[in-house]
Structures are given as structure tokens and as C-alpha cells.
Structure 1
């Protein structure tokens, strides 16, 4: 029985009929041939009940459509790392070690550029279609690290792996693969330790706190994001400090810690470097400038039900980079929440309509879940 397929379908609140329609739409967009509608209905039922195995062609479609890995699709735990060669396999082991020694700084730079490309595609098109590429990218990095021997080779690869694993974790969380997200964050933290990169470690810990928030454990999330400050060991860049303060503010808001939230928002504003630049040269996964922080402030205030949230959020909407599609969906959700706090139901409904369209474009399960929760309050 393909428990993973059934779970992925139910996570999206899709019926089997809806899944069939989505398979047909996906195939049409990607110029792929699939069976007739009647046959697909039979296939979906048989896949979920274990009477038919999922062929490689349909597995590829389902991975791209649902944003899940093969192990999740089949409902199996992720396999352990490939076993090291046993007695008699020394030639293969030495060959892989020699290959790892040849990983140069140029190659590490290529790894980082690949991560940036995946980040850009994710930002503009969503994470659901990137599972194959991201899985392969992480596998290559893990393999390079596993067989690298000396620190001068291991540390740059570990740093690249820390950044890629944290991105993969956020993508997995966005498409509703919570367990995969958690494991990727753990991988990112281990890689950051290996690389002796406290900035990457603090960032991974703070993002991992959002998994706890989504699991309705905001108090534990507050503890984790505050522990991220200790992990940073006073070696965080100003922009990352501002980002971490803002993340702590949002998580405190979700935990109902009003005063702590407002204090963290003020600290974020103080720490943020001036100007319109949004990338942190020391931490490329951090995008934060005054416009982004205005949106984050509005988000936190909307969670608190503060009347000032609306003005901050509309200001952020005017300044939002149009390529940040997922961020736009989140901002529309924030505006809906802020209007609901003021009993302005027509405005809230319009923003939820816009958010639903944007979430559909990116395939964000996380945003769709929030949209449905807010819709119930109308």
C-alpha cells in the first residue's frame, strides 16, 4: 500500500478525483502522456491500496506534482546513507576518497551557485517541482563530504551542504513534508558544526523553530530560536542579527508573548543595516531590508491583533519584489488576518482570494493550510 501517496493527497485535502485532475493538468503542462481519466481513477485507487506499483514515469509526475521524494511517495522511511564498502571493497573506497580530494574551491563555488539557482526557482515558481533536483544536489554534497578526509577539504563542502540542506528543509516544509523538513534541518545543523560556521547553525535552528510553531508548539519554538542566539556565539552579521530578532518576534507573537514580540521588533530595526540592499554577503540565504522588515513587523502585529498591522502591511505590499511569489502569498494572508482582527470581512476575503491564487501557483501546502484556517473565520 502506498501510504505516502495517500498521506500526500490528504495533506492537500484532495480527493482521489482531484488527484486525477491534477495529474492530467501536470502532464498537459509538461507535455507528458498519461492514461485516460477512467484508467487514472483505477490507478490511483490501486496505487493507494497496494494492488499496483507506481511506475517510474508516474512516480516522476507525482514527485513533481506533490513535491515529495520517492521514499515519501512509497510511504517508506528515508534510507540510510549508502553503506561504506566492506572487506574487499578497498579499491572503490580509495577511488572515492581520491575523488573527494580533488574537490576544489572552484567546485565548491559551483555547488553554491547550484543552491542559488534552486533558491531563485523556488522563490518564483515554488518548491513542489524541485524535489528531484534538490535531492540530487544534497546527495552530491553529502557524498563529497562523506569521502573527504582532511579539514581543508571538508569545511568548504560542509558549509555548502549547510546552506543547501537548510534551503531544502524550508522547501519541504512549504510542500507539507514535515518529517523531511526536520531531517534536513538536522543535516544542516550537523554540516554547520562540521564547517565551524555559527551563522549557518543559528539560521538553521531559527528556521527549524517554525516547524515547531506549525506543530502548535510555539513555546518550544521560542526556546529554540533563543538558543540560536547562543549557537551564534557572538559571530552573527548585523543583517543576520536583524533577521534573527524578527524571527524571534514572530515566534513570540505566535506564543502570545506580546511584550517580547515588540521588544524583538525594535531590536531588529536597530540591528538592520541601512540602505536598500537585501542580501547578506556572508549569508546568502538571508534577504532582509527595511521593506522586508516592515512586512515582518506587520505580520507579527497581525498575529497579535494590533490595529497598526494594516498600515505596515500595505506599505510592505507596495514595496514587495514581484518575483517573490511565495512571500506575496504570505503577505496577502497577513493582510487578511489583520482585516479580520478589525472585523473587515470584505477586505479579508479579497486578500484570501489573491493568496489562494498565489499559493496555487507555487504549490505551497503551508500557505494553503493557513488560507483555509483564515477562511473559517469569515
Structure 2
């Protein structure tokens, strides 16, 4: 094996002076970098994964352009794992490791990199509060599209938005503008994280949430920090680690509960209830649901929290999702009430709600009544590209087939 987690893959230094290699670096073409590692260092996908900290499956998807990198820390791991020299790191958009001599003997490269960095800083300097507002609006529009059509349809738009925000944020100098860009970047990365959860790309989801948490810290925004941390618990849930998810959510609530607005406090309580329900802890689940109901403000939405959509109907859906696991007799009515209150713009959420309702009906032996909900849930899961809900539809359909007719 040419590389390991502790020894970078050895690509001949002259490779990085080739024009095609420089284009790969400039474009941050990670698939192209992996091809260079295979061609010039004989590195396999397993080697690359071990050297960069990526799973072999993700290396394979990246190599086929089916997965894309957006997080700076992952770019760093790739650069380190592939042993990029400092002049190649700079073309790749990363800081040199040897700050005393960042480009060695590459005088022309030094001048070119200086010019490129100056251009990026100048471009970032053009961003003012109006531009930040436009970028915020773009993220909000992507969020609305995500609710209707799912993340798969807008994947290219999401990647472009994150790349644009990351570029602007990385080279912004004015502290006020930099903090505002960090805020938008955190919101956008958290949205990308949820989309990755929905498509069952859990490693990508974890990285997006780490990105969102880091940006929220720079923005000094407790609400965003609590939200991204709480949403990351769903990665643990889908990994089959609900105990750790419950512990994480409890920690987030304890740390931020009195520092964030009411709608987010409600969201965190309901998320903890869901993790506890999956864990099978009915007492904790019911306590958290009662807390969520008591915390929910009277207004349908908080304009300062565009990423939290929560009202009485949404909370009824959440309650039904939790209590269906314990055979609660009121679950069906909760879920029907929530379905009646949906406005038709939350297609992915409706898929989940109909799965919950079908689950509750199957538990009471009402197989025929469950079938239309399964059919509609399957349609919505397909339309939004939700593998998460699609898997659940298949599980419930199998259960309906085995149940009494």
C-alpha cells in the first residue's frame, strides 16, 4: 500500500508543474486529483481513503463525480493525504505548510499566486450588506425549493451556493461582513446536511454539519449553533446510535435552551423526544413532547429562524411520529389532524407523515386504510428523491403484505 493514515501518498513533485495538473488544482477537481494519485503513485481507492480519511465508497463516488467536496477541512485532508507540496496547495486554494518559504524555488508561481490571492481578496471586498442579503435570499429560495422538490433536484444549485459563500467568506477581511457571511454559510451548510441525511449520505451529512457548526461559532450565533448541533443528532440516529443522539440533544438543550428563541427551543425538545422514542424510552419521549408543546409560541414562524418551520400542525405530526412507536391510541387522530393542516408545500414532510399514519393504521390492523397513504408516500418520496422515506415505504409495504387482509 502506497499511502496510509499517517504517510501521504507519494506523487512525484514534477507532476504538479504540468499544466493539466494545475488546471485540476485550480478547479478543485478532486476526482482529477485521485486519478493523478492512481496514475503517478499507483494508489488504489483503498489507499486514497486511508490517506485522506474518506471511506472507500466515498472515494469511489467522488471518482465517478457522484459526490462532491465542499468542506475546507476535507480539502485539507485530501491535500495532506496526497502529499501536495506548498506551491500545489496554494493553487488548490489552501495555505502553505512552510510559511517561511511557501513556494520554494517557484518564483513565477509565487507571483501568480500572489496575483490570484489579491484578486480573490478584491472580489470579496466588493461584498457589502446588500450582497449578503442577496446571498441570504438565494439560500432561503433553495430552502423553499428543497421542501417542495427535494435536495436531489437542486443539488447543483446547492453546491454552487456553498462554493460561492465559502469563497467569499474565506477571503473577506471586514469583520462585520465576514460574520454575516459565516451566518449564511452556516444556514446553507445545515440545509445541505439535512439533504444528505435524506439521501442517506451520512458521511457527507456529518461533514456538512461540522461545517455549519464551525461557521455558526464564527458568526457567534447561538441559535444556528444549537440548530446545526441538534440536527447533527439525526446522523447518529440514522447510524443506529439513538442513545448518543439523545445525549447530544440533551447537552444542546442544557447549553443553549435559554439563549435561543421559542420556536427553536420547541424544535430541540421535539427532536429529543424523537431520539428517545427511537431508543424506546417512552418516559423521556413523553416528557420532551410535553415540554415542546408548552414552549411553542403562538406565532406560526419566527422571521429570525427561517430554517425552523414549526406550528401546532407540525408539532402534532412530530408527536404522532414519536408515539406511533408505543402504540398510543391517540396517534392516528394526531396524524390525521397534522395531515389536514399541511399546506401542500412540504412534500418531503408529507411523505414522512403519511408513513407515520400508515404505520399507525397497520398497528391497529387497518391494512386497507393504510394502503392509500403508502401509495402517496411513495409518490412523494420518488418526487423529492428521498431515499430515507423511500426505505421506510418499502418496510411498511412489506409489513402490510404480511399483515391480515
* TM-score normalised by L of structure 1: 0.77
2:321 is the alignment partner of 1:321: no
Instruction: Tell me, yes or no, if the aligned pair for 2:257 and 2:265 is still in contact at 8 Å.
Output: no
2:94 is the alignment partner of 1:84: yes
The alpha carbon displacement at 1:149 in A equals 2.7
Deviations 1:161-199 (CA, angstroms, capped at 9, x unpaired):
000000111112212222211111110011001111110
2:309 maps to which of 266, 287, 292: 287
Instruction: Tell me, yes or no, if the aligned pair for 1:198 and 1:233 is still in contact at 8 Å.
Output: no
1:246 maps to which of 256, 264, 270: 270
1:71 maps to which of 62, 78, 101: 62
1:203 alignment counterpart: 227
Which stretch of the first structure deviates more once superposed, 179-188 or 156-165?
179-188
Superposed, which structure 2 residues align to 1:299-310 within 5 Å?
299-310=321-332
SS in 2 for 1:283: coil
The separation in 1 between residues aligned to 2:142 and 2:64, in whole angstroms, is 22
The alpha carbon displacement at 1:108 in A equals 0.9
Unmatched tracts of structure 1, length 5 or more: 1-68
Instruction: Tell me, yes or no, if the aligned pair for 1:238 and 1:271 is still in contact at 8 Å.
Output: yes
2:298 is the alignment partner of 1:274: yes
The separation in 2 between residues aligned to 1:113 and 1:246, in whole angstroms, is 28
Do the aligned partners of residues 306 and 108 (structure 1) sit closer, same or farther apart at CA in structure 2, a change above 3 Å counting? same
The alpha carbon displacement at 1:111 in A equals 1.0
Deviations 1:72-128 (CA, angstroms, capped at 9, x unpaired):
744778461633375412222122123222221111111110011111111111111
| RMSD of aligned Cα (Å) | 2.0
* TM-score normalised by L of structure 2: 0.72
1:139 alignment counterpart: 163
The separation in 2 between residues aligned to 1:336 and 1:209, in whole angstroms, is 25
Highest RCO, 1 vs 2 (Cα 8 Å, sep ≥ 6): 1
The separation in 1 between residues aligned to 2:285 and 2:63, in whole angstroms, is 36
Deviations 1:20-79 (CA, angstroms, capped at 9, x unpaired):
xxxxxxxxxxxxxxxxxxxxxxxxxxxxxxxxxxxxxxxxxxxxxxxxx97274477846
SS in 2 for 1:343: coil
Instruction: Tell me, yes or no, if the aligned pair for 2:153 and 2:384 is still in contact at 8 Å.
Output: no
2:288 alignment counterpart: 264
SS in 1 for 2:308: strand
1:374 maps to which of 396, 401, 404: 396
The separation in 2 between residues aligned to 1:138 and 1:293, in whole angstroms, is 30
User: Aligned pair count?
Assistant: 308
Deviations 1:216-255 (CA, angstroms, capped at 9, x unpaired):
1111111121222244263110111111111111111111
The separation in 1 between residues aligned to 2:389 and 2:242, in whole angstroms, is 18
2:376 is the alignment partner of 1:354: yes
The separation in 2 between residues aligned to 1:312 and 1:323, in whole angstroms, is 20
2:336 is the alignment partner of 1:341: no
SS in 2 for 1:84: coil
The separation in 2 between residues aligned to 1:119 and 1:165, in whole angstroms, is 11
Instruction: Tell me, yes or no, if the aligned pair for 1:185 and 1:204 is still in contact at 8 Å.
Output: yes
The separation in 1 between residues aligned to 2:306 and 2:67, in whole angstroms, is 34
1:175 alignment counterpart: 199
Deviations 1:336-356 (CA, angstroms, capped at 9, x unpaired):
111122222222233211211
1:237 maps to which of 261, 274, 290: 261
The separation in 1 between residues aligned to 2:125 and 2:286, in whole angstroms, is 49
Instruction: Tell me, yes or no, if the aligned pair for 2:190 and 2:208 is still in contact at 8 Å.
Output: yes
